Amino acid sequence: MAFSEMHPIHRFKSWQVWPGSYDNKLIPNQYPHMEDTGLGIDTFTPIASIGSCFAREIRKVLIRKGYNYITEETHHPASVHASAAWERTYNTFSLRQIFEYTFESFSPNIRWWVSPKTKQVQDPYRRIILYDSIEQAEHDFQSHIECSKKAIMKAKVLIVTLGLTEIWEDNNDKSVICLPSGPYFNEGAGRDEYTFRVSRYQENLDNLEKIYSLLKQHNKYCKIIITVSPVHLWATFRKDMDVISANCNSKSTLRAVADEFVCNHDDAFYFPGYEIATSFNMMMNQSCFEYGKENFHINRATVELIMEHFFEFYSKGETH
């Protein structure tokens, strides 16, 4: 128990007080948290993850530790990032579209990109997934929808990692592509079809609420763990702000969105992976960053630290 020196005296739990301040000890590698997080998992709990590239790190560790991680479409290269071949999904709009095409319908004006030179067919909504023909793409996508349903409907816990707020919208129907990349853009197409903008608090919250609504319609007992990805922006498309400031804005917006979303739902929980990687590591004089050309990623030690706390939060340290 920690006490304030102000009048009147306030009594706080140790996890409510900044680690290392006054007589509240900073315990290395022990992120302060309440004992009961309200959610329990074990190695039998069916767990799925979806979202930014940190969902891939979560997937790797859960599988390595022997947890019941859901894997669909294991033949598909894009499935290495999540529980199905959703690929890396950086923004809440793309996440919402996945739930829409899985359980409702999703019919954007531009469904497939065909590269002007190589004629490769690319899925605009699942990062860089390529096909030799539209027929092949449509066949694979129908199979993907069924696998997406299985993954989401089997999950008792769904981990969602939020990445960034920068989006590219179709100028006509406002559908959001995952990223302007791949052969379609490299060969000069798409420049006039999409507009870049920064999404804001309310629309990101609305996207999470739509995802929650669809999830509960089809898997009402599934609980959600929301986390903000600790992987920083490699580059920003903004012309009014540097990349570090843009990253801060992006993460701060999503952190605020996650807070309100979790407060709105008793079966949604926030996991502070971002805070462990950045603030807590800084307190211990440790860097969260990888070395080399991809230093916007977090290093292996930080991934392990985050996942150790994940098990401490929800599995009471069970790591077998």
Q: Whole-number mean pLDDT of the chain?
A: 93
Task: Classify 22 in phi/psi space as left (phi over 0), alpha (psi -120 to 50) or beta.
Answer: left
Q: Would you say residue 290 lies in a domain?
A: yes
Q: Residue 287: its pLDDT value, please?
A: 87
Please give the pLDDT value at position 220: 95
CATH number at residue 168: 3.40.50.1110
- Is there a domain that residue 130 lies in? no
* Full residue range of the structural domain in which residue 244 is found: 43-106+144-176+196-314
Residue 12 placed within a domain: no
Q: Is residue 11 part of a domain?
A: no
pLDDT value at 319 more than 50:
no
Q: pLDDT-derived band of residue 320, with 50, 70 and 90 as boundaries?
A: very low
Indicate the number of domains in the chain.
Answer: 1
Residue 242 in any domain: the answer is yes
CA-CA-CA-CA torsion for 82, 83, 85, 87, nearest 10 degrees? -20
For the ranges 82-96, 138-152, 217-231, 279-293, the lowest mean pLDDT is seen at: 279-293
Residue 277 located in a structural domain:
yes
Reference 48, options 18, 73, 23; nearest CA is 73
Q: Does 58 fall in a domain?
A: yes
User: Residue with structure tokens 């509960």?
Assistant: 216
- pLDDT, one tens digit per residue, over 2-53 is 555 656 677 899 999 999 998 899 999 999 998 889 999 999 999 999 998 8
In-domain check, residue 164: yes
Q: Which two tokens stand for residue 129?
A: 């997934």
Other CB atoms within a 10 A radius of the CB of residue 166 amount to 21
